[in-house]
Structure 1
Amino acid sequence: MQTLTRRQLGLGGAAVVAAAAASTLLQPTGTSPMRLGLGAMKPTSLRIGAILPTSPWDAELPRRIVAGLRDALSAPDWLSVEMVEREVVGGTVGIRSAASDLLARDVDVLLAATNPLAADPLVELAAAASVPLLVSTFGATTPRRLGRGDVAATVHGLHLADAAAALGAWTVREHGPRVGVLASDREAMFDLIGQLGRGVTSAGGTMAALEIVSEPGELSAAADRLEQAGLDALHIEVAGRDAAPFLDLLEDGSFRGVPVTIDPLASGGDALPACASWSRGTDPAGVLGAETGSLLVAALRRGGGHGVVFPGTSFDTDRGRLRVSSTGVTAGPVAMLADGRPLAVPPGDRGNLSLPVAGVTNEFLCL
């Protein structure tokens, strides 16, 4: 079985994986090389150090990410994988120490399933150990370059922020220019409302009203104010089980006659329009793991058995072929959840709605 050394590392974007582990958790199904268009792949081993988020609302979140990751990594018959996992709580709390521990265990790739804002401290650690860094995220913060340009750091996610921008533009085209938002304070800490505003203004609309609530008892008064704002459409920005009291407002007759959209991760919101990068009926955490695994396999293929190469690598997913840009960030299509109709992500910067920057470093759903 082929092994790779850190002396092969090229920091200009062709990061090369290190010494492989002696034991594996995912064994190849055969020993014959696979034809990949880049020549035959020799049997290769890969040891992944995985930092996984924990959620107070979803105890199985890290397990579902890993399940998708394992499925993708078990597909190539030339690849043998071992994963060393560390679950962490919060944003930067515990992430740096988990990374230091994993890097000391001679991993070949450091994978951090976290908000990219929490991953910045990992860039120097990974670079010092000559180990490529891959950040996997739901994408509720605006996509951006991670760390230094000469360090092999890559960010891939489900592009929730892009989906919010696409939904904002669609809302104006479908319903009119005056858009309001009713949000949970937890979701308001991320970039989703600002990105929705970017989409609204790109289509000629206006973010006409915003109400952020911290507890269900504030919802009734917030709804009254929004109903007096003369809205053409309303977006509800809430995720997970927190959505229940927001949806109860609609059941009780609030916003009657006003079209309503919702965050795609809101439990019980399937009847309302939403935009996402996954399809209805699939588990987003599993999709994130599967796409991340597909990227790792493609990066190994592109390295031709001599290491992982992330920048410029294309990889296949259920939503189509994605690509890592020269800055180490992926982009990909988003679509309406109800019917899979693709929506274009508008160009440009943030919308015209100014929000205080909380600088939250937790991953989405992990607050």
Structure 2
Amino acid sequence: MDISLMVALVIALALFFDFTNGFHDTANAMATPIATGALRPRTAVAIAAILNLVGAFLSTAVATTISGGLINEGSNGVQITPTLIFAGLIGAVLWNLVTWVLGLPSSSSHALVGGLVGAAIVGAGFGAINIGNLLSKFVIPAVLAPITAGLVSFLATRIAYRLVKKRQREGFRYGQVFTSSLVSLAHGTNDAQKTMGVITLALIAGGFQGAGTGPQFWVILVCALAIALGTYSGGWRIIRTLGRGLTEIEPGQGFAAEAATSATILASSHLGFALSTTQVASGSVIGTGIGRKGASVRWRTAGRIAIGWVITIPAAAVVGAIAAWAALLGAAGVITDAVVATVVIVAIFLISRRSNVSARSLTIEPTQFVRPKRRKTSKKERGAA
């Protein structure tokens, strides 16, 4: 297949992945303010979309990690072709949609890494993978980031509930508008860059850009727009799981979780770690559930999420490897990949319509989590009792 056409297909599929990343990860920033009633669902996703768009322009460190740190370079450039990148993206997109329809907060980042690794191994062998960077920039942050965020949110929750009196805690709702916005901005600086890195990698592999160079401005722009549109489309299923499925969240907890999430993501983006913002947000929510006296964590749901974390990279890698095997057969294989992927995507969306989750079903009245005041009883009533 013509190299220009193949690169064009990669760009189109990468932008679709970016779109799915947007609605898959909206929950990372907006599940907690929606759960506490601090923001209405549609208002929340609109804010998240705008700030994801802005955040995508703030850094390219993670994009460079994807385009130049995951796949080794050989004598003729990177050891991966646009065809293999196309196959890897199929693995990432399909796993993203499967976990979305299940309402499972899995990692779009790890789905992307898994798909690319699986395709690269089939097409170029294990030597094409930079194992050192895979471990230091992806695997180790995947383990440490949610633990770190959970610990920070646990401590922040304890401090907040100890220092702030009960009647003043509703003020945290206003603080949540700021902290959730900061998470959205941080999400844009990390997740939008992953698609930038993939497109840049395809351009380098296709000979349209020099090895070792970063994303061009038009790549940054289209990736920013794609993730913003995906974010605005909702992602209500995962918002429901993260906002209500792990623990009942009060405004103070939401504030603490969002502060911990944004701090962890921004620090990782600065270091070029392509971490999972979903894992960070989930870890933060669990930390607040442990940190608030009287709260409880639904560990069965947490266990389902943890299983998703563990199997995301290998599952996406298997799908990417199968797609790469077919694509290497030639143009017929690429067409087969595209047709099969399209059929699966359509089937997933049709399945999702059977149990539709909308913004209206997540709307919560601001007073829902306010504990009712106890009515004082008179001496006469106490005596009668």
Q: 1 or 2, which has the higher helix percentage? A: 2
Q: 1 or 2, which has the higher strand percentage? A: 1
Range class of TM-score, shorter chain: 0.3 to 0.5
Q: TM-score, normalised by structure 1?
A: 0.33
Q: TM-score, normalised by structure 2?
A: 0.32
